[in-house]
């Protein structure tokens, strides 16, 4: 009976190490970092009710030898509440990066970019943030101005990527990950 009990206890002690090994982000599944961002990006309901935002934010980061997010940069023209939530969400992957020699070599000297498409229309006040057909010319003009501001913000986001420590660069060697879409529209 003691042998069976000790075997069961041993199995339960080993299971966390097995599942932890499967959760590691490696050179072959680095794109799964978007799951950490998606699962850990949290905004308060009160904030969601006031947001009128349609833009793309680029998260640029590196992976340290210890498996943590390093040199984290986000495009600048986003509200602080969004920036802080995204920083916290990407940092949730700290310690989940593989420390195998081959992965550390892959991560070394590489910048990764995760585009995050944000769409929040609840705070826009009119409609659901989409361009509608049966609306007045005045309202249509307001909708187009809002859309134009969004396009400008996306252009600035790309320019922000090419700034490193206050200096503009002509090119950026990086790995661009698959975009992540986050948001909700109001009705």
Over residues 155-185, the pLDDT tens digits come to: 666 677 777 666 777 777 888 888 888 876 5
pTM (two decimals): 0.71
Question: What average pLDDT does range 67-82 have in this prediction?
Answer: 86
What stretch of H or E contains 82? helix 80-91
Asked which of 20-29, 50-59, 131-140 is least confident by mean pLDDT, the reply is 131-140
CB 89 within 8 A of CB 162: no
40-54: per-residue pLDDT in tens?
Answer: 998 887 777 777 777
Are 119 and 48 in contact by the 8 Å Cβ rule? The answer is: no
E-strand stretches of 64-184: 69-74, 112-120, 163-164, 167-168, 175-176, 180-184
Largest CA distance in the chain: 82
Structure tokens at 6: 């000790």
Note whether 54 and 116 are within 8 A (CB): no
pLDDT of residue 36: 87
């Amino acid at each position: 009976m003691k042998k069976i009990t000790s075997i069961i206890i041993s199995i339960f002690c080993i299971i966390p190490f097995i599942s932890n090994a499967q959760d590691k982000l490696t050179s072959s599944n680095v794109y799964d970092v978007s799951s950490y961002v998606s699962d850990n990006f949290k905004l308060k309901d009160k904030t969601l009710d006031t947001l009128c935002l349609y833009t793309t934010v680029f998260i640029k980061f590196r992976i340290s030898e210890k498996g943590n997010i390093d040199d984290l940069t986000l495009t600048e023209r986003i509200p602080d509440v969004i920036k802080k939530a995204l920083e916290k969400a990407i940092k949730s992957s700290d310690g989940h990066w593989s420390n195998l020699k081959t992965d550390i070599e892959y991560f070394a000297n590489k910048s990764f970019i995760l585009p995050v498409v944000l769409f929040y229309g609840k705070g826009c006040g009119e409609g659901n943030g989409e361009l509608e057909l049966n609306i007045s010319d005045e309202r249509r003009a307001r909708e187009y101005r809002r859309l134009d501001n969004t396009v400008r913000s996306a252009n600035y986001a790309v320019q922000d990527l090419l700034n490193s420590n206050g200096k503009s660069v002509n090119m950026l060697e990086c790995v661009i990950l698959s975009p992540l879409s986050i948001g909700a529209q109001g009705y």
